[in-house]
A = this chain, B = another copy of it.
Amino acid sequence: MKKQSRRKFIASAVALTAGVAVSANSFTTMETKDKKQLAHHVFFWLKNPGSTEDLKKLLDGLRSLEKIESIRALHIGVPAKTEVRPVIDASYSASELMLFDDLDGQLIYQEHPIHKKFVADCSHLWEKVLVYDAMDV
């Protein structure tokens, strides 16, 4: 290749592959946005809601769940400091929000040894747990 052709080739290669990268990225975004998913949202009320130590144990336990491969997104949270309104329940101590591809993904999670270990290690910490499973429509 002559110097000029080589430059042209590099430019084409970069443009081509940049295009591939952008497409791959768009595809990922679109897939996430358009795909019907199952949201599994769990709220925990600690036996000792004032104990930062118990909260830390629970949050650490929840973080161990992220290794479960059928979980597509995981959000571990505490009540947000949004406006106070009668319709908002901010009385829980911590929450886990997971997205799964389908019912099977959620079942794999339920039966996974890491999830069972989390329940065995942490269930003594909470006095109440409340679950909402919502399927995208």
Of residues 33 through 88 on chain A, the ones whose CB sits less than 8 Å from some CB of chain B are 33, 37-41, 43, 59, 73, 75-83, 85, 87-88
Knowing A13-B10, A21-B17, A37-B75 are in contact, say whether A133-B87 is a contact too (CB < 8 A): no
A135 cross-chain contacts in B, Cβ below 8 A: 77-81
Binary contact readout A107-137 vs B (1 if CB under 8 angstroms, 0 otherwise): 1001000000000000000000111111111
A77 contacts B39, CB within 8 Å? yes
A134 contacts B28, CB within 8 Å? no
A129 cross-chain contacts in B, Cβ below 8 A: 87
B13 contacts A17, CB within 8 Å? yes
Stoichiometry, copies per complex:
2
B133 contacts A82, CB within 8 Å? yes
- Residue in contact with A130 in the complex, picked from B21, B40, B73, B87, CB distance below 8 Å: B87
A40 cross-chain contacts in B, Cβ below 8 A: 82
Name A's interface SS: mixed
A77 cross-chain contacts in B, Cβ below 8 A: 39, 134-137
A106 cross-chain contacts in B, Cβ below 8 A: 80, 82
Docked CA distance A33–B73 (Å): 7
B136 contacts A75, CB within 8 Å? yes
